[in-house]
Amino acid sequence: MDLQLSGRVAVVTGASKGIGLAVARTLAEEGAHVVAASRTVPDAKVSHVAVDLMDPEAPAQVVAHAVREFGGVDILVNNAGGPPPGVTLPRAGFLTPDDAGWRAMFEFNLFAVVRMIRAAVPVMLERGGGSIVNVSSTMARQPSAMNVDYGAAKAAVLAIGKSLSEEFGPQGIRVNTVSPGPVLTDWWTKDGGAAEVFAGFVGSDRDSVIKEVAPAMMNLTTGRLVHPQEIADAVALLVSPRSGGTTGAEVVIDGGQLKEI
């Protein structure tokens, strides 16, 4: 299926690894001009902007780069998120993060998204419209005693997507949300990552957590963590004109984690 993305300009944040890298590669393979915003250079055929999205000035710099290089922005994928620099997730309990921890979590997972959208929307409007996909999380809709601050930030991202779709839909900008469940990225697999933290909680080891313990604890119907490419494929379809009638939607890709109607 031709996604009609050839020649379109896409900005992808957090594009150096995991979901963001899979999204950047997929959009580039579909013919889009991809601007990858990340602290490190991604292994993909993209135009890279080295930025730290904790810096309030970074989003405007990314959009300015896209305008300079390719003339504008048609697509924005707000993928950057997760633990801020220096933070390890999961962490248990509401009392664990202090005010500074909450601020850092919201700065990275919410305010960076707000600023990217604020920078991109005027440019999209000049081009007659565009498509925005924000990456949230199933933790936005399944509160837990784990990662309370992260879940709250991602719930805000989900709410913002709904509001923006109402405001800018009539002007040609579609806004949708993708909410992954647990995804097999280095957030789980790296030394000291989520799998090792979980292993410490339950007295297991990293490989067992990834293959057996985490899927069972999270009640994943598929019995496995989601692959980054499965998220990227959904994002590519959502930003495509082939999804022109879809806005204000949330697409959940979670291996069957969420059970409610």
- Which active-site residues does the annotation give? 150
Q: Provide φ and ψ at 176, rounded to 5°.
A: -130, 165
| DSSP per-residue string spanning 113-129 | HHHHHHHHHHHHHHTT-
Element (H, E) at 99: helix 99-106
d(CA 257, CA 248): 22
Residue with tokens 């929307």: 121
DSSP symbol at 171:
G
d(CA 104, CA 96): 14
Number of Cβ within 10 Å of residue 216's Cβ equals 11
d(CA 141, CA 110): 16
d(CA 248, CA 63): 23
Amino acid symbol at 210: I
DSSP symbol at 227:
P
Q: Which residues contact 220 (CB under 8 A, 6 or more apart)?
A: 181, 182, 214, 254, 255, 256, 257
Number of Cβ within 10 Å of residue 78's Cβ equals 31
